[in-house]
Structure 1
Amino acid sequence: MPTIEQALRRHPLPRLESRMLLTHAWPGLTHAAIIGYPERELPDEAASAFEALAARRLTGEPMAYLLGSREFYGRDFQVRPGVLIPRPETEHLIEQALSRVDRGAPARAVDLGTGSGIIAVTLALEAPGWVVGAVDVSTDALAVARGNADALAARVDFRLGSWFDPLDAGARFDLIVSNPPYIERDDHHLAEGDLRFEPRGALTDEADGLACLREIAAGAPERLAEGGWLMVEHGYDQGEAVRGLFSAAGLSQVETMRDLAGQDRITIGRKAD
């Protein structure tokens, strides 16, 4: 049986990643124990599990998929291949929603293209008086999202379908949010880094990157209550185009917010009272 130190030295991975994979392979092992007792022998089962995880990581597979979770807005969400990995930029969407719609008052909100459910679940937990729905075209994604809602005790009404299609006829919302596929079909980033392993259909519209955003912007006014907000995440170079889509749909108070890197990231608009 190899020792902890021998196992960690066997693969050319960053030290922190190796430790994270090792604690995942051997439940109960802590980072403090790894540092304090490097001579400790690994059980054969843990050593084999670590070897398999390390080999997958060396091919570039994202840590979030290997560990099965990723933190978002202070909570751990389960993720797996088939859903996007939560990213800190999406927290800006949560912040805008909670600052524009009174979290202490009753409201109806829906998350279009929910994926792992991070937006819908977070809104339901941060604003427990809201009625929150979530839509996704993928049954696999909805299974992950439902699992996250159950694990975090969030009340979310999940619907299977494309964008507005599964919503009840006549339903109106105070908030519509979405992080849709917005990468252009031929963007080189799709073949790089974590994106290589994430579901392509959740990343790109297989067109110019604006197809889903066009559909959402065009359909939102009919589904918004008076004074309701539409908020979407988009690419760093799409702010002007998305503002144009919102304005063409008749929304007012259209504005684009930047992320911590100074890039256009979230565009919002409101249906006039």
Structure 2
Amino acid sequence: MQEILNIAAYKFVAIDDGELLRDALRATTHALALKGTILLAPEGINLFLAGEKDAAHDFLRGLRADPRFADLEAKESWSEAQPFRRMLVKLKREIIRMDHPAIQPAAGRAPGVDAPTLKRWLDQGHDDAGKPIALLDTRNAFEVDHGSFDGAIDWRIGKFTDFPKALKKHREDLAGKTVVSFCTGGIRCEKAAILMREEGVADVLQLEGGILKYFEQVGGAHYHGECFVFDGRETLAPDLSARASGASARAAEDPDIAIKR
């Protein structure tokens, strides 16, 4: 029986009280017996938590009471065991490191496409304007090796900070197509989409909520394999069940690994 609720969420929004917010979230997660990782930075919040259903939902309700996070959207999945060993709330320079300071998602998002619409486009082989779709996987190469969308572009990057260099090398390959960037939960493909628009790629969208939201809303259509997740479950199948055996201790302990989505 799967009794542990896993919630993943992020939002790019200006945060100027990081230390106070960190202390408050530490107290709240401790009181609710949640485990996982929360990263706070001037550009926003990024979190992945696990615990009892009511506790997880109580945490989200409390967080959304802050006007900055009122519209925070969360992805949910279940597991039989707690995938994290402890609770970490950390202050960072970026909630997802890109080392490209001109990218400020809180100042304006790139347009997105939801999962049902993307599935429909993939079913028909083009977007609603008749343009071909270029699915761009913004994840690290080892993640892609566990599974990805059929025919997705994979630049074999070793870490997300490699993405700007890879874009400069391959930008012309995207010309004339509707580019849909995607990642595990939405945070990396959002930054990637903003960078691509800044670099002159004309038609760029991000997959809203990433692969996890796609699985949640439409299942595994046009996707092969599983989705690597940075916690003890290791990979999730399109039905959001954990398929790998054994916990990834390093992912469960390292906030820079455990929160990349």
Normalization by structure 1: what TM-score?
0.26
Higher relative contact order (CA 8 A, sep 6+): 2
Greater share of helix: 1
Kindly name which structure, 1 or 2, has the bigger radius of gyration based on alpha carbons: 1
